[in-house]
Amino acid sequence: MTGGPLTARHVPVLMRECIAALDPAPGDVMVDATFGAGGYSRMLLDAGATVHAFDRDPDAISAGREWPETRENPPRLVLHARRFSEMVDALAEAGLDKVDGVAMDIGVSSMQLDQAGRGFAFSQDGPLDMRMSQEGESAADFLNTASDEAIANVLYLYGEERQSRRVARAIVAARPLTTTGDLARVVRKALGYHAGTPKDPATRSFQAIRIHVNAELDELTEGLSAAEKVLREGGRLAVVSFHSLEDRIVKRFLRDASVSGGGSRHLPEAEARPPVFTAVSKAVRPSEKEVNDNPRARSATLRYAVRTAAPAREAA
């Protein structure tokens, strides 16, 4: 390991399987769409690839600038302080049209969860923030100004919270909320949580609010489309997701992209188009050992595929 040391806590889930799916070779140009602590980038660099890494979190980009590969001539690690949905424009600005692989590790990073001041988790009390980019509307801004109906919709759609209306009414009644502890206590009280319950019911609400604040599902949809545009023929896409909403989007995207006609059964035969992805994998799950070593891995799913020569779809 020549730079960017990783702690065991920050080793990405399913990393070995993801790197195997990407099959990097010396001279390849790869995209790490979710740089985080740099786990994928480290493995891709060690395989001899050049990596263009994206992250909207300024803390991740700042840490990445300490890596020696950013100072090589030309640099083998190029950092982009941007959303991964912007990779088409960002790579074009760097003089690139196509790349050999794209890795995506969706959702919040361990670094963000571990920092109480970022407000992503309720394991430690901190400001009710949850912004990956550290800009724009925070979780507190949303919860302290939105209607109970708007809050309930977010909890139901993104957290699959069956009692979303009850929780939303409790949040509005308790305003203003300023810390993660405030929110966790309100949710637990609304749902009748008792110590010793296997899963803290606040987990669903925190997930939903974080997804909303960061527009994560829209970002994933747009990022997959961008990856389709930048991958060369034979290029590989590998995506690790952590809950059913994300995996559903990835699975649908790859299904639609791997059939003739771009996924529509209603196109006339004359308009049918060849598939843009092939060799689509089945869902890959972490091993029992990995789950035991890292409980966060329990819900992870990897899906991957290989780009064909077909033109990218206009609205992938």
Mean pLDDT check: name the lowest of 89-93, 99-103, 193-197, 278-282: 193-197
Euclidean distance between CA atoms 129 and 121, whole angstroms: 10
Report which of residues 8 and 124 the model is more confident about: 124
pLDDT for residue 245 is more than 50: yes
Other CB atoms closer than 10 Å to residue 201's CB: what's the count? 18
pTM of the model: 0.89
Cα 42 → chain centroid? 18
Out of 3.40.50.1370, 1.10.150.170, 1.20.210.10, 3.40.50.300, the CATH code matching 116-214 is 1.10.150.170
Whether the per-residue pLDDT at 8 is higher than 50: the answer is no
The one-letter amino acid code at 247 reads D
Does domain 8-110+216-307 fall into CATH 3.40.50.150? yes
Please tell me what DSSP assigns to residue 241.
Answer: E
**Which pLDDT does position 266 carry in this prediction?**
52
150-170: per-residue pLDDT in tens? Answer: 999 999 999 999 999 999 999
Look up residue 106 and give its amino acid.
Answer: I
Question: Cα angle vertex 55, ends 105, 141, to 5°?
Answer: 100
Q: Is the pLDDT of residue 186 over 80?
A: yes
Structural domain boundaries of the chain? 8-110+216-307, 116-214
Q: Which two tokens stand for residue 238?
A: 């590998």
73-129: pLDDT as tens digits: 999 999 999 999 999 999 999 999 999 999 999 976 555 555 545 655 666 789 999
Residue 315 pLDDT level (bands cut at 50, 70, 90)? low
- For 108, list phi and psi in degrees, rounded to 5: -80, 145
Task: Using pLDDT thresholds of 50, 70 and 90, give the confidence band for residue 295.
Answer: confident
Residue 260 pLDDT grade (very low, low, confident, very high; cuts 50, 70, 90) = confident
Q: Residue 242 is encoded by which pair of tokens?
A: 């952590």
> How much of the chain, in percent, has pLDDT values that exceed 70?
87
pLDDT of res. 305? 98
Query: Are the CB atoms for 106 and 34 separated by under 8 Å?
Result: yes
**pLDDT number for residue 71:** 97
Q: pLDDT tier at 14 (50, 70, 90 boundaries)?
A: very high
Q: Which of 312, 119, 93, 316 is nearest to 221 (CA)?
A: 316
Q: What is the pLDDT, as a whole number, of residue 116?
A: 47
